[in-house]
Amino acid sequence: MLEVAHLDAFYGDGQILHAIALDAAEGERVAVLGRNGAGKSTLLKSLMNAGPRVAGAIRFDGRLLAEMPSYRRAQLGLALVPEDRRIYSHLTVLENIAIARYGAAGRKAMEPRQILERFSMLKPLEERYGGQLSGGQQQLLAVGRAFAAGPRLLLLDEPTEGLAPVIVEQMAREIAAICDEEKVGLVLCEQNIWFARACTSRLYLIDTGRIVFSGGWDEFDRNADLKQRYLAV
Protein backbone atom coordinates (compact mmCIF):
# COMPACT_ATOMS: atom_id res chain seq x y z
CA MET A 1 0.00 0.00 0.00
CA LEU A 2 2.73 2.49 1.00
CA GLU A 3 6.08 2.52 -0.79
CA VAL A 4 8.79 5.05 -0.02
CA ALA A 5 12.07 5.12 -1.95
CA HIS A 6 15.11 7.44 -1.85
CA LEU A 7 13.22 9.97 0.27
CA ASP A 8 15.16 13.08 1.28
CA ALA A 9 13.57 15.82 3.38
CA PHE A 10 14.69 19.37 4.07
CA TYR A 11 13.81 22.34 6.26
CA GLY A 12 15.31 25.28 4.43
CA ASP A 13 18.86 24.32 3.50
CA GLY A 14 19.12 21.69 6.25
CA GLN A 15 18.67 18.07 5.20
CA ILE A 16 16.88 15.97 7.82
CA LEU A 17 16.14 12.68 6.02
CA HIS A 18 18.57 10.83 3.76
CA ALA A 19 17.50 8.23 1.17
CA ILE A 20 14.73 6.73 3.31
CA ALA A 21 13.25 3.46 2.03
CA LEU A 22 10.15 2.13 3.78
CA ASP A 23 7.03 0.16 2.93
CA ALA A 24 3.81 -1.06 4.50
CA ALA A 25 1.41 -3.53 2.93
CA GLU A 26 -2.39 -3.22 3.07
CA GLY A 27 -3.44 -3.44 6.71
CA GLU A 28 0.14 -3.94 7.94
CA ARG A 29 1.39 -2.26 11.10
CA VAL A 30 5.03 -1.17 11.24
CA ALA A 31 7.05 0.84 13.76
CA VAL A 32 9.78 3.42 13.25
CA LEU A 33 11.93 3.65 16.36
CA GLY A 34 14.55 6.28 17.12
CA ARG A 35 15.79 8.80 19.63
CA ASN A 36 14.53 12.37 19.84
CA GLY A 37 15.78 14.27 16.83
CA ALA A 38 16.35 11.15 14.72
CA GLY A 39 13.87 12.30 12.06
CA LYS A 40 10.71 10.38 13.01
CA SER A 41 8.32 13.35 12.98
CA THR A 42 9.86 14.71 9.79
CA LEU A 43 9.26 11.33 8.14
CA LEU A 44 5.53 11.32 8.94
CA LYS A 45 5.14 14.96 7.92
CA SER A 46 6.92 14.17 4.65
CA LEU A 47 4.49 11.34 3.93
CA MET A 48 1.61 13.75 4.50
CA ASN A 49 3.20 16.76 2.73
CA ALA A 50 2.80 18.66 5.98
CA GLY A 51 5.88 20.87 6.16
CA PRO A 52 9.24 19.60 4.90
CA ARG A 53 10.45 19.96 1.34
CA VAL A 54 10.92 16.46 -0.03
CA ALA A 55 12.62 14.68 -2.90
CA GLY A 56 12.20 11.04 -3.81
CA ALA A 57 9.22 8.77 -4.38
CA ILE A 58 6.18 8.24 -2.16
CA ARG A 59 3.57 5.89 -3.58
CA PHE A 60 0.20 5.00 -2.10
CA ASP A 61 -1.62 2.14 -3.82
CA GLY A 62 0.93 2.44 -6.61
CA ARG A 63 0.08 6.10 -7.17
CA LEU A 64 2.97 8.55 -7.05
CA LEU A 65 1.93 11.32 -4.65
CA ALA A 66 4.57 13.82 -5.85
CA GLU A 67 3.33 17.35 -4.97
CA MET A 68 -0.17 16.25 -3.95
CA PRO A 69 -1.40 18.51 -1.11
CA SER A 70 -2.17 17.19 2.35
CA TYR A 71 -5.94 17.34 2.01
CA ARG A 72 -5.84 15.17 -1.12
CA ARG A 73 -3.67 12.62 0.67
CA ALA A 74 -6.22 12.57 3.48
CA GLN A 75 -8.97 11.94 0.93
CA LEU A 76 -7.01 8.93 -0.36
CA GLY A 77 -7.00 7.47 3.16
CA LEU A 78 -3.87 8.76 4.90
CA ALA A 79 -4.38 10.16 8.40
CA LEU A 80 -1.71 11.83 10.53
CA VAL A 81 -1.92 12.13 14.32
CA PRO A 82 0.82 14.70 15.05
CA GLU A 83 2.87 14.76 18.21
CA ASP A 84 1.21 18.01 19.34
CA ARG A 85 -2.31 16.45 18.98
CA ARG A 86 -4.05 19.65 17.76
CA ILE A 87 -7.28 19.14 19.67
CA TYR A 88 -9.95 21.82 19.23
CA SER A 89 -10.10 23.23 22.76
CA HIS A 90 -13.49 24.95 22.24
CA LEU A 91 -15.23 21.76 21.01
CA THR A 92 -16.39 18.85 23.12
CA VAL A 93 -14.86 15.39 22.83
CA LEU A 94 -17.85 14.25 20.79
CA GLU A 95 -17.63 17.30 18.50
CA ASN A 96 -13.87 16.83 18.00
CA ILE A 97 -14.54 13.29 16.80
CA ALA A 98 -17.55 14.20 14.67
CA ILE A 99 -15.71 16.90 12.73
CA ALA A 100 -13.13 14.39 11.51
CA ARG A 101 -15.76 12.48 9.54
CA TYR A 102 -15.69 15.23 6.91
CA GLY A 103 -12.33 13.83 5.86
CA ALA A 104 -13.74 10.42 4.96
CA ALA A 105 -14.20 11.47 1.30
CA GLY A 106 -16.63 8.69 0.45
CA ARG A 107 -14.99 6.00 2.60
CA LYS A 108 -16.97 4.36 5.36
CA ALA A 109 -16.52 6.57 8.42
CA MET A 110 -17.08 5.49 12.00
CA GLU A 111 -19.84 7.08 14.03
CA PRO A 112 -18.53 9.28 16.87
CA ARG A 113 -20.21 7.13 19.49
CA GLN A 114 -18.57 4.05 17.98
CA ILE A 115 -15.23 5.70 18.67
CA LEU A 116 -16.26 6.38 22.26
CA GLU A 117 -17.15 2.72 22.68
CA ARG A 118 -13.75 1.66 21.32
CA PHE A 119 -11.80 4.09 23.54
CA SER A 120 -13.34 3.42 26.91
CA MET A 121 -11.48 6.20 28.73
CA LEU A 122 -13.10 8.77 26.42
CA LYS A 123 -16.66 7.56 26.89
CA PRO A 124 -17.38 9.41 30.19
CA LEU A 125 -15.78 12.58 28.76
CA GLU A 126 -17.93 13.09 25.67
CA GLU A 127 -19.35 16.45 26.81
CA ARG A 128 -16.07 17.79 28.16
CA TYR A 129 -14.28 20.45 26.11
CA GLY A 130 -10.95 19.62 24.52
CA GLY A 131 -9.19 22.30 26.54
CA GLN A 132 -10.36 20.65 29.77
CA LEU A 133 -8.68 17.31 29.05
CA SER A 134 -5.43 16.01 30.48
CA GLY A 135 -2.54 15.28 28.15
CA GLY A 136 -3.34 11.57 28.11
CA GLN A 137 -7.01 12.21 27.39
CA GLN A 138 -6.11 14.57 24.56
CA GLN A 139 -3.85 11.93 23.04
CA LEU A 140 -6.61 9.32 23.14
CA LEU A 141 -8.97 11.83 21.56
CA ALA A 142 -6.48 12.64 18.78
CA VAL A 143 -6.15 8.94 17.94
CA GLY A 144 -9.90 8.35 18.11
CA ARG A 145 -10.56 11.37 15.92
CA ALA A 146 -8.20 10.01 13.25
CA PHE A 147 -10.01 6.66 13.21
CA ALA A 148 -13.34 8.46 12.80
CA ALA A 149 -12.37 9.46 9.24
CA GLY A 150 -12.12 5.83 8.19
CA PRO A 151 -8.42 5.93 7.21
CA ARG A 152 -6.65 3.18 5.32
CA LEU A 153 -3.26 4.06 6.80
CA LEU A 154 -2.76 5.81 10.14
CA LEU A 155 0.46 7.79 10.71
CA LEU A 156 0.93 8.02 14.46
CA ASP A 157 3.64 10.24 15.98
CA GLU A 158 4.97 9.57 19.51
CA PRO A 159 1.56 8.83 21.11
CA THR A 160 2.99 7.62 24.45
CA GLU A 161 5.15 10.63 25.28
CA GLY A 162 4.44 11.80 28.84
CA LEU A 163 1.61 9.32 29.42
CA ALA A 164 1.06 7.12 32.48
CA PRO A 165 1.79 3.40 31.97
CA VAL A 166 -1.84 2.40 32.50
CA ILE A 167 -2.93 4.70 29.65
CA VAL A 168 -0.12 3.42 27.41
CA GLU A 169 -1.19 -0.20 27.96
CA GLN A 170 -4.84 0.52 27.27
CA MET A 171 -4.03 2.61 24.19
CA ALA A 172 -1.94 -0.24 22.76
CA ARG A 173 -4.80 -2.72 23.15
CA GLU A 174 -7.38 -0.39 21.66
CA ILE A 175 -5.28 0.74 18.69
CA ALA A 176 -4.35 -2.83 17.77
CA ALA A 177 -7.96 -3.98 18.08
CA ILE A 178 -9.39 -1.22 15.87
CA CYS A 179 -6.67 -1.66 13.25
CA ASP A 180 -7.43 -5.38 13.10
CA GLU A 181 -11.20 -4.99 12.98
CA GLU A 182 -11.27 -2.10 10.51
CA LYS A 183 -8.29 -3.31 8.39
CA VAL A 184 -6.34 -0.09 8.99
CA GLY A 185 -2.59 -0.02 8.36
CA LEU A 186 -0.26 1.78 10.77
CA VAL A 187 3.08 3.55 10.63
CA LEU A 188 3.96 4.25 14.26
CA CYS A 189 6.87 6.50 15.21
CA GLU A 190 7.90 5.83 18.80
CA GLN A 191 10.60 5.57 21.45
CA ASN A 192 8.63 3.24 23.73
CA ILE A 193 9.75 -0.23 22.64
CA TRP A 194 7.05 -2.07 24.58
CA PHE A 195 4.27 -0.03 23.02
CA ALA A 196 5.71 -0.31 19.50
CA ARG A 197 6.05 -4.08 19.87
CA ALA A 198 2.46 -4.39 21.14
CA CYS A 199 1.09 -2.47 18.16
CA THR A 200 3.21 -3.68 15.21
CA SER A 201 4.68 -6.76 13.55
CA ARG A 202 8.01 -5.34 12.36
CA LEU A 203 10.12 -2.24 12.68
CA TYR A 204 12.59 0.21 11.23
CA LEU A 205 15.31 1.97 13.22
CA ILE A 206 16.14 5.54 12.23
CA ASP A 207 19.23 7.44 13.32
CA THR A 208 20.26 10.94 12.18
CA GLY A 209 17.75 10.74 9.35
CA ARG A 210 18.87 7.37 7.98
CA ILE A 211 17.32 3.92 8.25
CA VAL A 212 19.91 1.76 10.01
CA PHE A 213 17.85 -1.42 10.51
CA SER A 214 14.67 -3.01 9.24
CA GLY A 215 13.25 -6.39 10.17
CA GLY A 216 11.01 -8.32 12.52
CA TRP A 217 10.97 -8.06 16.29
CA ASP A 218 12.70 -11.44 16.66
CA GLU A 219 15.60 -10.24 14.53
CA PHE A 220 15.75 -7.00 16.52
CA ASP A 221 15.94 -9.01 19.75
CA ARG A 222 18.77 -11.17 18.38
CA ASN A 223 20.85 -8.03 17.69
CA ALA A 224 21.30 -6.88 21.27
CA ASP A 225 23.58 -3.98 20.35
CA LEU A 226 20.88 -2.21 18.29
CA LYS A 227 19.04 -0.98 21.37
CA GLN A 228 22.22 0.39 22.95
CA ARG A 229 23.54 1.98 19.75
CA TYR A 230 20.38 3.62 18.47
CA LEU A 231 17.84 3.88 21.30
CA ALA A 232 19.72 4.36 24.57
CA VAL A 233 19.72 7.91 25.89
**CATH numbers and ranges of domains, the chain:** 29-52+67-230 (3.40.50.300)
Query: CB–CB of 183/210 below 8 Å?
Result: no
**Which pLDDT band, with edges at 50, 70 and 90, does 104 fall under?**
low
- In terms of C-beta distances under 8 Å and separation of at least 24 residues, what long-range contacts does 54-57 make, across chains too? 54/7, 54/8, 54/9, 54/10, 54/17, 55/6, 55/7, 55/8, 55/9, 55/10, 56/4, 56/5, 56/6, 56/7, 56/8, 56/19, 56/20, 57/3, 57/4, 57/5, 57/6, 57/7
Q: pTM value?
A: 0.92
| pLDDT (average), residues 194-205 | 96
pLDDT tens digits, residue range 52-102?
999 999 999 999 998 899 989 998 999 999 888 888 999 999 999 998 877
Residues 42/44/48/54 CA torsion (nearest 10 deg): 40
Percentage of residues of the chain with pLDDT beyond 90: 68
pLDDT at 79: 92
pLDDT band at residue 224 under the 50/70/90 scheme? confident
pLDDT in tens, 150-194: 899 999 999 988 788 988 998 999 999 999 998 999 999 999 999
Render pLDDT for 30-42 as a digit per residue (tens, 0 to 9).
999 999 999 999 9
